[in-house]
């Protein structure tokens, strides 16, 4: 089938870009390497939009949270990723978490149902020399294509390490020790609407002595070693291995993924404290599929070797007999210095027929990756229609993220970034306690006129 645009990569960004174009009647060739017998070091399946690290899209609160606002804006733009996430949603308090298999199946079914979209299982080894193209190969771009991109940009890609958290079988968790609760019961209404009971996390409590012993095990555990050429590659702070956090201080984990606040352990109840008492630290697990049979260890990305993961994580109270559906892992991610290499429409300055989208541009996170893919698709749709492109207002989450990638960030210190209110034009005249809500109110008001300008 002849095509109007070629999209390379069927992950979150590529799938969203393909959807935005195909639903507008443009002929799309979507190339995906998985399905040819090859996979990246992190992928487990050949499905489109596979979720590699976590099953969470983070907070769905669009009133006071930047990523929740991004959810809202993507829904307003007809995002496939957000629609599929809604169908695959599992209870997770105020967060948006999904069944991975259901989610990927929804995305793939929607795309393959588009008559103008051709899904081709193939490896692309070089940037096309002509024709509109969106490269959305993600942070694990195959070596040959990465070399081609490097040759076209005249610069080496930056890189950082990303880590994956383990997944545990629910039936192997000791619920006489662990208990179900959401921190401060947050998100109870959303949970109940999805069939939950408002207590969406499994919590494994630790005393002070247990926590200190666990931290020592993390520090001493046998870990993956780096190759010589990887030695100076930094970690991304938003997905840091648990043992690296442990190295940063005795209480770093207790103020991070193992924070105990808002979690009163009913197993420790006494007449003086009938609801329980506060643990010194807590390990949380989040439901990872609709059936509720597998649970993700929240914030437990790791570079520990598999045998060490099983040994050390089984010292966690409630996980003494844990069986693992998947161990954690570590992989090297690459991304472009986008403020230097890309123009304001995500086009490669040295080859403007090529756009980049997703994590390879230096955004971080599932939602952010899909959002940049959506924007790239909308830009390409406008170009194909011969219409002038109008960028989303910088006061919106979409506009703030796009501006950061394409020029607002300092090129010399450019690093992967999640959406956050620090990327928005400041509202210094608003009191600090009211500022987050003010950011989202302003963004929603200014989004609507922009969406009316999008190509039909």
Instruction: Tell whether residue 438 is among the known ligand binding residues.
Output: no
Sign of CA dihedral 377, 380, 382, 384: negative
Alpha helices in 176-318 (DSSP H): 188-193, 208-220, 242-247, 306-313
Task: Compute the distance between CA of residue 67 and CA of residue 54 in angstroms, rounded to an integer.
Answer: 16
CB atoms under 10 Å from CB of 388, counted, come to 8
What's the full length of the chain, in residues?
456
| Tokens found for residue 49 | 């939009």
Task: Compute the distance between CA of residue 277 and CA of residue 242 in angstroms, rounded to an integer.
Answer: 25
Instruction: Tell whether residue 422 is among the known ligand binding residues.
Output: no
| Tokens found for residue 216 | 């020592």
Instruction: Tell whether residue 74 is among the known ligand binding residues.
Output: no
| Tokens found for residue 362 | 């230096």
Sign of CA dihedral 193, 195, 199, 200: negative
Instruction: Tell whether residue 14 is among the known ligand binding residues.
Output: yes
Task: Compute the distance between CA of residue 418 and CA of residue 403 in angstroms, rounded to an integer.
Answer: 13
Instruction: Tell whether residue 407 is among the known ligand binding residues.
Output: no
103 Cβ contact list (under 8 Å, min separation 6): 49, 51, 55, 84, 85, 87, 88
DSSP state for residue 61 in the 8-state scheme: -
Alpha helices in 45-93 (DSSP H): 66-76, 80-87
Instruction: Tell whether residue 10 is among the known ligand binding residues.
Output: yes
Beta bridge partners of 179: 203
Q: What is the DSSP string of 394-454?
A: TTSHHHHHHHIIIIIS-GGG---B---GGGSPP-TTS-HHHHHHHHHHHHHHHHHHHHTTS
Binding-site sequence positions: 9-14
Binding-site sequence positions for FAD: 9-14
């Amino acid at each position: 089938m002849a095509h109007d645009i070629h999209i390379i990569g069927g992950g979150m960004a590529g799938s969203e870009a393909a959807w935005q174009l195909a639903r507008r009647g443009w002929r799309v060739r979507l190339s995906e390497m998985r399905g040819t017998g090859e996979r990246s070091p992190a992928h487990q399946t050949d499905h489109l939009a596979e979720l590699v690290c976590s099953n969470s899209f983070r907070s769905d609160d669009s009133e006071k949270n930047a990523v929740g606002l991004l959810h809202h804006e993507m829904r307003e733009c007809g995002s496939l990723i957000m629609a599929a996430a809604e169908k695959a949603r599992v209870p997770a308090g105020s967060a948006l978490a999904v069944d991975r298999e259901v989610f990927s199946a929804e995305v793939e079914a929607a795309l393959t149902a588009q008559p103008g979209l051709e899904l081709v299982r193939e490896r692309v080894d070089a940037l096309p020399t002509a024709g509109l193209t969106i490269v959305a190969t993600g942070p694990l771009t195959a070596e040959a294509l990465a070399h081609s991109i490097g040759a076209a940009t005249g610069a080496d890609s930056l890189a950082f390490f990303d880590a994956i958290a383990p997944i545990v079988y629910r039936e192997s968790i000791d619920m006489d020790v662990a208990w179900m609760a959401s921190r401060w019961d947050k998100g109870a209404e959303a949970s109940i609407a999805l069939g939950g009971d408002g207590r969406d996390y499994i919590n494994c409590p630790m005393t002070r002595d247990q926590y200190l012993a666990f931290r020592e095990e993390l520090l001493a555990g046998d870990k993956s070693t780096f190759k010589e050429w990887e030695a100076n590659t930094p970690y991304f702070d938003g997905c840091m291995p648990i043992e690296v956090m442990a190295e940063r201080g005795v209480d770093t984990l207790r103020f991070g993924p193992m924070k105990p606040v808002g979690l009163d352990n009913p197993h420790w109840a006494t007449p003086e404290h009938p609801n329980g008492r506060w643990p010194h630290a807590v390990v949380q697990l989040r439901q990872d599929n609709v059936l509720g049979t597998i649970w993700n260890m929240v914030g437990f990305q790791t570079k520990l070797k598999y045998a060490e993961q099983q040994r050390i994580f089984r010292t966690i109270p409630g996980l003494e007999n844990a069986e693992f559906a998947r161990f954690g892992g570590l992989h090297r991610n690459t991304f472009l210095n986008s403020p230097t290499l890309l123009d304001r429409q995500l086009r490669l300055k040295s080859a403007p027929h090529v756009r980049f989208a997703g994590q390879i541009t230096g955004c971080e996170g599932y939602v952010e990756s899909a959002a940049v893919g959506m924007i790239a698709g909308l830009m390409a749709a406008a170009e194909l229609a011969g219409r002038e492109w109008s960028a989303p207002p910088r006061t919106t989450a979409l506009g703030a993220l796009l501006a950061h990638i394409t020029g607002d960030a300092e090129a010399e210190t450019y690093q992967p970034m999640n959406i956050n209110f620090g990327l928005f034009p400041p509202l210094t005249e608003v009191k600090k306690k009211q500022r987050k809500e003010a950011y989202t109110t302003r963004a929603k008001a200014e989004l609507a006129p922009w969406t009316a300008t999008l190509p039909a």
